[in-house]
Amino acid sequence: MTYQKRLTLLMLLDSVIVLGAIYLSVLMLVPAIRIFHSETLLVSSVTLLLSHHIFSFMYGLYNKAWEYASTGELVTIAKAVSLSVISTAFMQQILVQDVYFRALVLTWMLHVLLIGGSRFSWRIYRDRYIKPKTTQQRALIIGAGAAGTMLARQLMKNREASIMPVAFIDNDPQKHKLYIHDIPVVGCTKLIKKTVEVLKISKIVIAIPSLSKEEMKRIYEECAGTNAKTVIMPMAEDVLLGKVSVNQFRDVQVEDLLGREPIELDIKRISKKLTGKTIMVTGAGGSIGSEICRQVCRFKPKKILLLGHGENSIYQIDIELRNKYKDEIGFVPVIADIQDRNRIFEVMEGHKPDVIYHAAAHKHVPLMEYNPKEAVKNNVIGTKNVAEAADTYGVETFVLISSDKAVNPTNVMGSTKRIAEMIIQELNRNSATKFVAVRFGNVLGSRGSVIPLFKKQIQSGGPVTVTHPEMTRYFMTIPEASRLVLQAGALANGGEIFVLDMGEPVKIVDLARNLITLSGYKEDEIEIRFSGIRPGEKMFEELLGKNEVHEEAVYPKIFIGKGVQVNFSRVTSLIKEYESYSDSALADYVLSIANNKEPLLMTSVN
């Protein structure tokens, strides 16, 4: 229907209602009809009709989409009608020198009732009898708080939305058996499975922004036991900022189920370290290095050197950051191999960075077992080159990205990471630069993570290959790992190895099962096959032994490991002679150096 046709119909309808209201009020006031003579009735009718149309235009009553009418529209109707009746009273006073209050009050009541009824009847008819054009999925909303009710209201307004909420689940017993926007709150999260079956739910929406990781994991386990797809409502702040709409859901990610809350940063301390400074990130094109660059940008450094060996990955992060920060920060893409000592010293001399985050390394355990010389060249000699250049050119802080595999290492990769820690601790003894290392477990979503492999295997229909049913690892997200790196750099006094309290280790087979269900499959639809432990792999990783953990963290969830005295001459010999060893002999040699001393002991930062 065109706007002009719709306007004409509404004005004709309102004209009938207005005249009907005033004549009905007269008929109902039988004793007063004698004094309410035809002249007064004519004046009142014409005045009320004209003033109604005038105030209806003023308040936009002819421009509203009445299929979405709410209490706000009812208030607007009351305002327009009230002003129309008041105008009629003034005209009665002017033209007939009297005001018929009883008739006008009754007219006002009938006027509001009939105008409001005509408008709201369209919404009621539409909601109950007009079917949406799209086939809507029946949805269960987890959370009947502010976020859940806002979501329900938006979905019910939008008849073209792909889902329609039919029930709430909430753990607050005071809300049970209540109705919110005509949607029942059926009970607590223990009733998720039953509710899905009884109400034939095809989609579950988690709408509780304040959920802890542990609560999210527990609720998701309940949802995963149903045939419904589970999604999460976007963050409230993203909705308010206009980044996404309230009904733009996202799938549950493995990161949501880690069961551990992210670390909070000491913003003031990090700002003091980074704001207005020149920062270098090696391995800046990698998953960890690029995220460190993104996190550093929040603190408005003067310049960031994006150093890496792969030109495409450095190009990508350079373009991304330039587009986002434009002229706020200087970005310098540097193509360089950390094994090239002269090139590293040249870059350091030219830019003289204040802080270095050294993320460049070979990290793949089985590959390094087959290529120990490459592991030594990159992880040991490359680290030595960058660290000694930092010492030579007066870098304020040098942060090495290490690994939990450096603890009591059983593989080449972990051993070379432990030796890299030894190198920076040795340099720290006589340097003005503060050398520190940050040690954490596996990073979800990184290039070396098992997650991308599992996803590809699931997409191809399986099987998903897990090395052993008891294999466990510590996990953290890329942003969380990067925040830890920044915080460690701000806490550095020199010589420390910072370790994150990563909570409980996760069984790899449980991670695989979660990914299968997150991908929309049942566990029995995708086979999990155990392939056997690979060369150099441990069954259990460790960050530090329980008896080595100091009771008091130096920062929430951050501890410090202090290395014991090492025979650094063996490291020097390794660097000079590694090429003369066979692969198997070199692997044994780096293992012996890395495991020559007692494990790290936890100490207070003070």
What is the 8-class DSSP label of residue 373?
A: H
Helix (H, G, I), strand (E, B) or coil at 141: strand
Q: Is residue 591's pLDDT more than 80?
A: yes
The pLDDT of residue 377: 95
What is the 8-class DSSP label of residue 298?
A: T
Catalytic annotation on 194?
A: no
Distance, CA of 55 to CA of 49 (rounded, Å): 10
Catalytic-role residue among 273, 384, 405, 538: 405
Name every residue whose Cβ is closer than 8 Å to that of residue 322 and which is 6 or more positions away in sequence.
331
Joined tokens for residue 38:
């035809």
Per DSSP bridges, beta strands 179-180 and 229-232 are unpaired
Q: For 123-143, what is each residue's pLDDT tens digit?
A: 666 655 555 545 678 889 998
Q: Is residue 42's pLDDT more than 90?
A: no
Fold of the 267-443+475-503+542-603 domain: Rossmann fold (3.40.50)
Residue 443 near residue 288, CB atoms below 8 Å:
yes
Q: For 308-354, what is each residue's pLDDT tens digit?
A: 998 999 999 999 999 999 888 999 999 999 999 999 999 999 999 99
Lookup result for tokens 């002017």 = 94
The percentage of residues in the chain with a pLDDT greater than 70, rounded to a whole number, is 75
Q: In this structure, which CATH number among 3.40.50.720, 2.40.50.140, 3.40.50.10190, 2.40.30.10 belongs to the domain 137-252?
A: 3.40.50.720
| Average pLDDT over all residues of the chain | 79
What is the 8-class DSSP label of residue 379?
A: I
Q: For 273-298, what is each residue's pLDDT tens digit?
A: 899 999 999 999 988 899 999 999 98
Distance, CA of 425 to CA of 437 (rounded, Å): 9
Name every residue whose Cβ is closer than 8 Å to that of residue 20 and which is 6 or more positions away in sequence.
110, 114
Task: Return the domain boundaries, the chain.
Answer: 3-129, 137-252, 267-443+475-503+542-603
Q: For 490-511, what is each residue's pLDDT tens digit?
A: 888 888 888 876 666 777 787 7
Q: Is residue 539's pLDDT more than 70?
A: no
Q: Is residue 600's pLDDT more than 50?
A: no
More confident residue, 147 or 374: 374
Per DSSP bridges, beta strands 250-251 and 179-180 are unpaired
Q: Is residue 540's pLDDT more than 80?
A: no
Distance, CA of 576 to CA of 581 (rounded, Å): 11
The pLDDT of residue 285: 92
Q: What mean pLDDT comes out for the span 233-257?
A: 56
Q: What are phi and psi of 472, to 5 degrees?
A: -125, 155
What is the 8-class DSSP label of residue 431?
A: -
Confidence of residue 527 (pLDDT cuts 50, 70, 90): confident
Q: Is residue 547's pLDDT more than 50?
A: no
The pLDDT of residue 136: 72
Burial of 140 by CB count in 10 Å (0-12 exposed, 13-18 middle, 19+ buried)? Answer: buried
Helix (H, G, I), strand (E, B) or coil at 543: coil
Element (H, E) at 307: strand 303-308
Confidence of residue 604 (pLDDT cuts 50, 70, 90): very low
The phi-psi region of residue 281 (left if phi > 0; otherwise alpha if psi is between -120 and 50; otherwise beta) is beta
The pLDDT of residue 88: 77
Confidence of residue 546 (pLDDT cuts 50, 70, 90): very low
